[in-house]
Amino acid sequence: DQQVKQNSPSLSVQEGRISILNCDYTNSMFDYFLWYKKYPAEGPTFLISISSIKDKNEDGRFTVFLNKSAKHLSLHIVPSQPGDSAVYFCAATSSNTGKLIFGQGTTLQVKP
């Protein structure tokens, strides 16, 4: 049972445009959501997070939106840069477990 899903395995955007990565979850107990960036053969790097009491969190070029009713979150990167090319994982957790459940990842390619 995949509790966190990233249905798009890959995304390609032009430099300067917006990148939108999507994530869906099924467990209503999740109350905290995170996005990680990962390069091959490296550990994930934390990007941005959002609590379930919010619907938006912004940090520089990165904004995460949360739609609790739809159990959907998205990561917006604007403007996209070639250095953003990587695999992006969304993850979810509930306060009572502390365990992170990861999605399958989306490979983002930003073309110069």
Partner 1 sequence: GAVVSQHPSWVICKSGTSVKIECRSLDFQATTMFWYRQFPKQSLMLMATSNEGSKATYEQGVEKDKFLINHASLTLSTLTVTSAHPEDSSFYICSASIQGNEQYFGPGTRLTVT
Per rule CB under 8 A, is residue 88 in the interface with partner 1? no
Phi and psi based region of residue 3 (left: phi greater than 0; alpha: psi -120 to 50; beta: remaining):
alpha
Query: For tokens 């306060």, what's the residue?
Result: 95
Pick between residue 74 and residue 104 the one whose CB is nearest to partner 1: 104
> Quick one: the chain helix, strand, coil %, rounded to 5?
5, 55, 45
Q: Which of 41, 69, 70, 96 is the binder for partner 1 (CB under 8 A)? A: 41
Q: Which of 13, 21, 35, 36 is the binder for partner 1 (CB under 8 A)? A: 36
Q: How far apart are CA 15 and CA 46, in angstroms?
A: 22
* Residues 14-33 as x/- pattern, contact with partner 1 by CB under 8 A: ------------------x-
Per rule CB under 8 A, is residue 57 in the interface with partner 1? no
Per rule CB under 8 A, is residue 49 in the interface with partner 1? yes
